Structure 1
């Protein structure tokens, strides 16, 4: 069976599985990353704005850190930046809030027995910190794959993390939807042969998401039935 959207445009095969990025998509952690990073780079008279952050979002920690140090010409190494950053982040992450529509969507998919997974570039340690006050709905995910998983050889935009999550869900990529907020995550999902729904930060240039199946303002706008995830 094939599904059509409201404009009668063919949107492909019905989805049976869903993979979710976490930062900026399920949890509002990006504001914390911004605050912490600015507190570090500000000591050197630098500004961490979206001209920099927009090229870092969704990337593995070390890749993003190397970019930051180079772009802002910081007089510290990427390793030193990450060590200080992560120490500050651990204290702040438990206070992060759910993004609009995230919890309701996850509970809805779970109630209909749709296999779902988290596929995040975060380390397992930081994942646990971020989700510590959201365990009641994060426990509904069948699988969680973090960026430091032994099977994830390359981070986004490589498809590894989505391939690993799909394998563990026993999911066919052609029947899998990826939910992302970052251009690197969009590229990773497409490279994995999956359809990608994006919910970009309002500060991001939407032209960077041209290859997405759909661009949404929030997860509240997503209609699972339209993609075959639910019958109605």
Structure 2
């Protein structure tokens, strides 16, 4: 790898790849929603005497609802303990976390990076596994900032996204919706989840990972660069305009 891994700041003297377009995941990357999802899942599992281990959470990150429930049922005793179906437990989870979704705030460094890209006319989009209703709730107080993004792809609601992450579909769909369609290798993806990184690399795109603290180190190895937060991103590593010296674009 050309970059230091998690819990370190990038310090690279050469360009990894000159990119022209940027694609962001949203949950746990732009918006601090993963703790809300974790609360909902943990609460429902706990009601039936089950825990939500970190290794299961790592598998769930970035997945669409059917995949999420398959992972949870396969790795816990929720089905056996509750006697309920995937759909029934999913509804309980959604009902638990939904009231909290409008409280989601921007992750550290996210708005600074968004404003920097916008200032320098770098096209950028969102590629999230979110369903429409969930997306609208978690972005309740962020509608104006979202107007800065060229477009948004909702994996759970978009008919062109045939398979969820780790398949490359959502990133390829996001790329082709830019006004000037870039080659995949000219796209830079920001992700927090191993499944998202796998999808980005399967799409032949560069990828910066900002992993959740529960992600084991071996699950970060596919990313081109791993940083502890977006505050530590160095745009020039990918041929993008560097931040101003004060590092504040907001």
Q: What TM-score results when the alignment is normalised by the length of structure 2?
A: 0.87
SS of the residue 1:55 aligns to: helix
1:125 equivalent among 133, 137, 142: 133
**Pairs within 5 Å for 1:1-232:** 7-9=12-14, 11-12=16-17, 14-74=18-78, 75-147=83-155, 148-169=157-178, 170-230=181-241
Cα–Cα, structure 1 residues 82 and 164, in superposed 2: closer, same or farther, change >3 Å?
same
**TM superposition shift of 1:9:** 4.8
Asked if 1 retains the 8 angstrom alpha-carbon contact of 2:24 and 2:191, the reply is yes
CA distance in 1, matches of 2:189, 2:174: 11
Runs (4+) of structure 1 exceeding 4 A deviation are: 5-10
CA distance in 2, matches of 1:42, 1:143: 38
Aligned length: 227
Deviations 1:126-159 (A, max 9, x none): 1111111112212111010001201000000000
Structure ranking higher on relative contact order (CA contacts 8 Å, 6+ apart): 2
SS of the residue 2:177 aligns to: helix
**TM superposition shift of 1:88:** 2.5
**TM superposition shift of 1:231:** 5.7
Identify which range, 190-199 or 127-136, moves more after superposition.
127-136
**TM superposition shift of 1:90:** 2.2
Gaps in structure 2 of 5+ consecutive residues: 1-9, 244-250
CA distance in 1, matches of 2:12, 2:230: 21
SS of the residue 1:54 aligns to: helix
Asked if 1 retains the 8 angstrom alpha-carbon contact of 2:14 and 2:237, the reply is no
Asked if 2 retains the 8 angstrom alpha-carbon contact of 1:69 and 1:77, the reply is no
Asked if 1 retains the 8 angstrom alpha-carbon contact of 2:22 and 2:125, the reply is yes
Cα–Cα, structure 1 residues 67 and 139, in superposed 2: closer, same or farther, change >3 Å?
same
CA distance in 2, matches of 1:179, 1:103: 14
**TM superposition shift of 1:81:** 1.5
Identify which range, 217-226 or 82-91, moves more after superposition.
82-91
CA distance in 2, matches of 1:226, 1:99: 21
Deviations 1:146-178 (A, max 9, x none): 012010000000000000000001222111100
Q: What TM-score results when the alignment is normalised by the length of structure 1?
A: 0.93
RMSD: 1.5
**TM superposition shift of 1:7:** 4.9
Cα–Cα, structure 1 residues 128 and 7, in superposed 2: closer, same or farther, change >3 Å?
closer
CA distance in 2, matches of 1:72, 1:132: 33
Identify which range, 173-182 or 87-96, moves more after superposition.
87-96
**TM superposition shift of 1:58:** 1.0
Deviations 1:2-51 (A, max 9, x none): xxx95545513x11100000011001111011111111111111111212
